[in-house]
Amino acid sequence: MTTAIDDLELSPQAVAAVEDALRAFAKALRATQMYLANSPTRAASVEQARVAFGKVWRYANPLELQVREAQFVWEDRVVYHDAERGSEGLPWLLYRDGLRALSFSNGFENADLDTLLGVFHHARTASQDEDDLVTLLWLADLSAFEYRHVESGGAVDLPTLSIDRNGDRAGVATWGGGVAPLAVPAAETTAPGDGPPSGLLRTEDFDSTLYFLDAREVSYLQDELKREYADDARKQALIILFDIVDSPVTRKAQLDAVHHIDLLMLDFLSLGEYELVSYALRESAGTRRSPAVDAAVIEALDALPARLSETAVMSQMLQALDDSARTPVASLLEGVFAELRATALIPLLSWLGSAPSSPARAAIERASLRLAGAHTAELARLLEHTDESVVRGALRVAAQLATPAAVPGLARILRGSDAKLRADAVAALADIGSPGALQALERGIDDTDRDVRVAALRCVASRKHAGALPKLAQAIRRKEVRDADLGEKMALFEAYGTLCGDAGVAELDTLLNARGLLGAREPAEVRACAARALGLIGSIAATSALQRAVETKDVVVRSAVARALRGGT
């Protein structure tokens, strides 16, 4: 029975089932490489892979994967990623030998799983003059596993080797696109009784000279030695420990393995090995879903990222990053921070709000954005924190994330006593730009601090927030505007001219051209700003009001009117 993936909505349960199956398969392959055939750990890993694949068929049958250099992709979703292991990763093993697509069918876990693990293991350890992976797969003659591969250039599709489901076309290679099938001869095998018994060693197989290796064999041994010494033993130690946690051993053994992982993570953190810390956190998150892990072990695994999220640990890490001579790579820090808990935001934001500029600051800030984006509710709560440095850091991150969840906290900051924080809150609200943010921004127009008022006026003008027009009209009528500096006057009138349209021409015409009871006019700066606002309106009525002030005697006003007319209609 085949499930049509196009008609099936990819639920989180389906994606999780495929991810678990591929992770279990990769662990079974590692166990095949590391343990003997009679090892209980190896048998347990293979059995877990068998159970995991059995859960996949309810969501996808067949399961069709695209192979990339470091990923397996199912229905445009990355379901397995292994970039850290490089040439040792399972995706690269397949991609290197030309495999580009895999198809697993119901029954694979019973019919072909053990054979396929053996094929992959043999391909990974084979020398250059032995058969490649595609040849090994053809010889294996699997019944519930199909694949597509290309030549080394990647431009030509080679036949997909499989057997017919009805069992009457074994050893036939089929081409896509309706091309006729190509008969492939069966694999040559030695007839029973021909030749010497298998496993018998003969003296003819060995060279009697002292140096019996040829140049190619020596080169192969040298390459293997380099690869062996290049492998990071610390990473292998983590892999072994997680395999113990994921195996059906005693709870005490699992908890001891988690304890050692915790100690290793702290050591890696102190040494700046963030890639290893990130790997351990990701493996911890995946291992929690294993059926071999009970509640006590899950609690211990949950404690790993929780411990790194503690204020004391995070503060020490940030201090080490700041003092380090090497600039950290932001992508590595993101991998660490992505698995941390929301409690890590307090030391992070405090550091961002108080630390001076440093080579580490940009990388830490970028990584912090990812953590804050996953915990926007906690970020909004920290906008009301009692520590001013935490609030400053939260303001900075909220402005960059532009999340509407931060609007209530920013609005409360606008009612606070710190003018610098209020100005930063105005900028953050403008960056968010939601209706609620712009409505909260209006409060800044009447703020007691000049810088906050100017910032609010410019933000209202840039966002063209028409809801602020009544407050702007009240502001230009107040006597206090006559005592404001030129910068504030210009910001106020430009915001009013941007929003009012023809409805505001009469108000501006009065300020520009009308005389008082004793024949006095408005101050020159106010009249010049009114002329600028009329120029921004640019309508016929606004131009007419400007024309009436062309012959004014005040040089400042006359110059402003001329510029407004050049910019108007």
Query: What is the 3 state secondary structure string of 261-311?
Result: HHHHHHHHHHHCCHHHHHHHHHHHHHHCCCCCCCHHHHHHHHHHHHHHCCH
Instruction: Count structural domains, the chain.
Output: 1
- How far apart are the C-alpha atoms of 80 and 286, rounded to whole Å? 11
**DSSP of 436-453:** HHHHHHGGGGG-SSHHHH
- The three-state secondary structure class of 93 is helix
In a domain, 489, yes or no: no
In a domain, 75, yes or no: yes
- How far apart are the C-alpha atoms of 4 and 416, rounded to whole Å? 58
Residue 152's pLDDT is: 53
pLDDT tens figures, 312-354:
888 878 777 767 666 667 677 777 777 788 888 888 888 888 7
Residue 99: beta bridge partners? Answer: 149
Lowest average pLDDT, out of 43-52, 317-326, 341-350, 428-437, goes to 317-326
- How far apart are the C-alpha atoms of 541 and 545, rounded to whole Å? 6
Residue 9's pLDDT is: 56
Tell me the HSE value of 134 on the side-chain side, using a 13 A CA sphere: 19
User: Does a cis peptide bond (omega within 30 degrees of 0) precede residue 12?
Assistant: no
pLDDT tens figures, 208-265:
554 566 778 778 888 877 777 767 788 888 888 988 888 888 889 889 999 999 888 8
Confidence band, pLDDT 50/70/90 cuts, at residue 151: low
Enumerate long-range contacts of 435-439, CB under 8 Å, 24 or more apart: 436/404, 436/407, 437/404, 437/407, 437/410, 438/463, 438/465, 438/467, 438/468, 439/467
Confidence band, pLDDT 50/70/90 cuts, at residue 65: very high
Q: Which two tokens stand for residue 346?
A: 């307090």
Residue 161's pLDDT is: 46
In a domain, 91, yes or no: yes
Q: What DSSP designation does 405 have?
A: G
Domain that holds residue 133: 5-184
- How far apart are the C-alpha atoms of 428 and 424, rounded to whole Å? 6
Residue 204's pLDDT is: 58
Answer whether residue 7 shows pLDDT above 60: no
Answer whether residue 488 shows pLDDT above 60: yes
Which residue from 340, 409, 397 is spatially nearest to 369, judged by alpha carbons? 397
Residue 161: beta bridge partners? Answer: 173
Residue 165's pLDDT is: 45
Residue 64's pLDDT is: 92
Q: What is the CA radius of gyration of the chain?
A: 36
Residue 516's pLDDT is: 58
In a domain, 231, yes or no: no
Lowest average pLDDT, out of 174-188, 388-402, 428-442, 517-531, goes to 174-188
Lowest average pLDDT, out of 25-29, 95-99, 197-201, 216-220, goes to 197-201
In a domain, 486, yes or no: no
Structural contact between residues 391 and 353, judged by C-beta atoms closer than 8 angstroms: yes
Structural contact between residues 188 and 158, judged by C-beta atoms closer than 8 angstroms: no
State phi, psi for 309 to the nearest 5 degrees. Answer: -85, -5
Confidence band, pLDDT 50/70/90 cuts, at residue 103: very high
Tell me the residue type at 516: G
Pick left, alpha or beta for residue 65 (phi over 0 → left; psi -120 to 50 → alpha; otherwise beta).
beta
In a domain, 548, yes or no: no
In a domain, 111, yes or no: yes
Average confidence (pLDDT) over 440-465: 90
In a domain, 59, yes or no: yes
Enumerate long-range contacts of 365-370, CB under 8 Å, 24 or more apart: 365/396, 365/397, 366/330, 366/333, 366/334, 367/330, 367/333, 367/334, 367/336, 367/337, 368/337, 368/397, 369/397, 369/400, 369/401, 370/334, 370/337, 370/338
Average confidence (pLDDT) over 272-287: 84
Average confidence (pLDDT) over 28-51: 86
pLDDT tens figures, 494-513:
999 999 988 989 989 888 88
Confidence band, pLDDT 50/70/90 cuts, at residue 170: very low
pLDDT tens figures, 362-371:
777 777 888 8
- How far apart are the C-alpha atoms of 208 and 225, rounded to whole Å? 25
Residue 207's pLDDT is: 53
Confidence band, pLDDT 50/70/90 cuts, at residue 400: confident
Structural contact between residues 18 and 66, judged by C-beta atoms closer than 8 angstroms: no
CB within 8 Å of 500: residues ≥ 6 apart: 469, 472, 473, 507, 508, 533, 537
Q: Which two tokens stand for residue 205?
A: 């197989």
